[in-house]
């Protein structure tokens, strides 16, 4: 059998391991970071946002996929006149307690990662071109020492670039003093995802994948037929996502609002010419029916304010944070926009702790389209800029991958053409009782 040739990026980026090791069944570094929830710094500051580190000096706020994959892959995308990619959040294997062993935690994340690997390997240049991670890469405090077990090892066979927005766990900090964190916020994320050059990672041990060169913690990825605007919704475990000062309530500058408005304006002509779809990705969900990770009205308002200024709305909004799959349709400015939550990447599959409204419930300008799916799995998105299809597939250890839901949009009209849950596949996944009316919870009570 000829040796497998793996992808080589135009700046020397490396992705999959040429000779992947067998799946691990024990952590290289046992995760003891749960104890940091009781550290003086975390206890004092857990309800505060963290400062946003500046982007790299001189770096543009957007990336071009052509600078990350070889020309033949870009040519195949152009020839086929469509692009496919993966997205999911909350992938880190770390949760070990009386309900779950380390091998189980590792296997749950590996099942998702391996299914994504298989999509790439079986489809070749016509398959997914990249993975856009929706945040919470490493639990519980984004520490460098856990990047191997939770990121590099699980995705060591994924032969495509992995871009990432941050989740709260990637930026959370702790410390034995209440006056300063032991490690500055985002230190490991910046060195692994926002490096100046695609060098080997200090945290990857023997894994081949080079670090990512995103300009900062918020950025846009421009690819053929689609742009994904990635936001950083900060570190709050409870209380939802924060991307601005909220009129001075948080000690943040509002550069992220300027960034979002500017990116929508930059991309508007291409969007209106039918050349690219526009997706917003933000870790905390603007809409979530799950009471533990309830939708964030302030985040929604901030995003809306930028769309109003730019007079352009996204074609879809993707989030993680809630450890399940949810799909809403929001009708805004006469267009139907899917808001999808997929924090189902392997850390936990968590049923809503309280009753949720049934699929079909309309609240304000949005509708819950499917009963929440409490399974590990991931999204696959395909677009030619005229239509967009998003599917959710479940990937459970020891079981075949199953498609659970999908939606297809006509982007010229802003209308859903087709959608549907696989009811048989969903049977028995929504364990909680339902009630006829409900209001999305605004806060959370437990860490997620
Ligand atoms: Fe999260």
pLDDT, tens digit (0-9, with 9 covering 90-100), for 99-140: 889 999 999 999 999 999 999 999 988 899 999 999 999 999
pLDDT at 367 > cutoff 90 = yes
Average pLDDT on 81-110 reads 92
Mean predicted lDDT score pLDDT of the chain = 90
State in Å: Cα 72 to ligand 1 middle: 36
State in Å: Cα 273 to ligand 1 middle: 35
- Residue ranges per domain, the chain? 33-426
- Which pLDDT band, with edges at 50, 70 and 90, does 96 fall under? confident
State in Å: Cα 131 to ligand 1 middle: 18
State in Å: Cα 238 to ligand 1 middle: 9
State in Å: Cα 371 to ligand 1 middle: 21
Q: What is the pLDDT of residues 47-63, one digit of tens each?
A: 999 999 999 989 999 99
Q: Residue 422's pLDDT is what?
A: 58
Average pLDDT on 442-447 reads 37
- C-alpha 351/C-alpha 349 separation (Å) is 7
State in Å: Cα 90 to ligand 1 middle: 7
pLDDT at 428 > cutoff 70 = no
Q: Residue 2's pLDDT is what?
A: 45
Of the candidates 407, 408, 403, the one whose C-alpha atom is nearest the C-alpha of residue 375 is: 403
State in Å: Cα 171 to ligand 1 middle: 10
Phi, psi torsion values for 119, nearest 5 degrees? -60, -45
State in Å: Cα 321 to ligand 1 middle: 4
Average pLDDT on 178-193 reads 95
State in Å: Cα 448 to ligand 1 middle: 6
State in Å: Cα 244 to ligand 1 middle: 18
Average pLDDT on 69-79 reads 96
Q: What is the pTM of this model?
A: 0.93
Q: Residue 3's pLDDT is what?
A: 47
Q: Residue 446's pLDDT is what?
A: 39
State in Å: Cα 235 to ligand 1 middle: 8
pLDDT at 39 > cutoff 70 = yes
Q: Per residue, what are the HEC states of 207-239?
A: CCCECCECCCCCEEEEECCEEEEECCCCCCCCC
Of the candidates 246, 215, 341, the one whose C-alpha atom is nearest the C-alpha of residue 287 is: 341
Q: What is the pLDDT of residues 282-309, one digit of tens each?
A: 999 999 887 566 677 899 999 999 999 9
- Which pLDDT band, with edges at 50, 70 and 90, does 434 fall under? very low
Half-sphere exposure of 279 (CA within 13 A, CB side): 30
- CATH number given to 33-426: 3.60.21.10
State in Å: Cα 367 to ligand 1 middle: 23
State in Å: Cα 223 to ligand 1 middle: 26
pLDDT at 435 > cutoff 50 = no
Q: Residue 294's pLDDT is what?
A: 67
């Amino acid at each position: 059998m000829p040796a497998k040739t793996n992808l080589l990026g135009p700046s020397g980026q490396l992705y999959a391991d040429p000779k992947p090791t067998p799946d691990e069944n024990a952590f290289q570094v046992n995760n003891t970071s749960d104890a940091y929830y009781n550290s003086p710094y975390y206890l004092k500051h857990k309800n505060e946002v963290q400062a946003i580190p500046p982007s790299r000096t001189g770096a543009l706020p957007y990336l071009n996929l052509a600078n990350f994959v070889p020309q033949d892959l870009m040519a195949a995308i152009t020839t086929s006149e469509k692009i496919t990619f993966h997205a999911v959040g909350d992938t880190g294997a770390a949760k070990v307690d009386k309900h779950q062993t380390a091998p189980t935690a590792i296997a749950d994340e590996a099942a998702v990662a391996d299914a994504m690997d298989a999509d790439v390997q079986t489809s070749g240049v016509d398959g997914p071109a990249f993975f856009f991670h929706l945040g919470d890469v490493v639990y519980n405090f984004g520490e460098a020492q856990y990047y191997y077990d939770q990121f590099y090892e699980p995705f060591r066979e994924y032969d495509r670039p992995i871009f990432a927005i941050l989740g709260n766990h990637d930026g959370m900090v702790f410390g034995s003093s209440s006056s300063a964190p032991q490690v500055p916020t985002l230190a490991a994320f910046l060195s692994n995802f926002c490096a100046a050059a695609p060098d080997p990672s200090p945290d990857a041990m023997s894994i081949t994948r080079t670090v990512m060169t995103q300009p900062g913690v918020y950025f846009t990825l421009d690819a053929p037929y689609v742009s994904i605007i990635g936001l950083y919704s900060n570190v709050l475990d409870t209380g939802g996502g924060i991307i601005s000062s909220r009129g001075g309530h948080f000690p943040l500058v509002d550069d992220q609002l300027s960034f979002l408005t500017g990116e929508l304006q930059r991309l508007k002509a291409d969007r209106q010419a039918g050349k690219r779809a526009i997706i917003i990705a933000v870790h905390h969900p603007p809409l979530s029916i799950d009471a533990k990770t309830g939708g964030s009205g302030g985040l929604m308002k901030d995003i809306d304010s930028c769309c109003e200024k730019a007079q352009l709305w996204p074609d879809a909004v993707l989030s993680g944070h809630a450890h399940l799959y949810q799909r809403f349709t929001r009708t805004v400015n006469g267009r139907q926009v899917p808001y999808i939550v997929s924090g189902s990447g392997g850390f936990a599959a968590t049923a809503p702790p309280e009753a949720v409204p049934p699929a079909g419930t309309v609240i304000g300008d949005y509708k819950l389209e499917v009963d929440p799916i409490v399974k590990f799995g991931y999204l696959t998105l395909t677009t030619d800029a005229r239509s967009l299809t998003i599917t959710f597939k479940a990937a459970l250890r020891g079981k075949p991958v199953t498609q659970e839901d999908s939606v297809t949009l006509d982007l010229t009209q802003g209308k859903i053409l087709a959608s549907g849950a696989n009811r048989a596949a969903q049977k028995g996944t929504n364990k909680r009782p339902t009630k006829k009316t409900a209001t999305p919870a605004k806060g959370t009570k437990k860490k997620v």
